[in-house]
Amino acid sequence: MPLFITTGCYTTTSAKGMIDSPSDREKAARGIMEAAGGKLQSFYVTTGENDWMAITEFDDGADLVPALLVIGASGAVSNVKTVRAYTGSEFKAAQEKAGTIASSYKPPAK
């Protein structure tokens, strides 16, 4: 099943809410991902450019979009970004396929 890595930042309102009333953000992330038909593999609070990272599994990336819309519309997070992650074996298969189709591409200049 395809893996997706989503990162984002908490808003100042969220930070205040978490100080005033601490909550399990992993549980919240799991709930929305499962409601959208996916599986939360792992959830981390991070330092640096992003405040959190979720690694999820979805049959199709389009199934993740509704969850991200709900999360974004809540106003609780900002700067949400998602990338598709590939396992080593998936990337090896892509390399092998590239080898079989490489001769079909003609670059504009050499």
Burial 20-58 (b: 16+ CB within 10 A, else e): eeeeebeeebbebbeebebebbebeeeeeebbbbbebeb
Residues 67, 38: contact at Cβ < 8 Å?
Answer: yes
CATH 3.30.1330.10 holds for 3-98: no
pLDDT digit string, tens, across residues 4-63: 999 999 999 999 999 999 999 999 999 999 999 999 999 999 999 999 999 999 999 999
Question: Does the pLDDT of residue 110 top 90, yes or no?
Answer: no
| Inter-residue contact 35 to 97 (CB < 8 Å) | no
In the chain, domain spans: 3-98
Average pLDDT of the residues in 75-97: 96
**pLDDT band at 104; cut points 50, 70, 90:** very high
pLDDT for the residue 109: 84
pTM for the model stands at 0.88
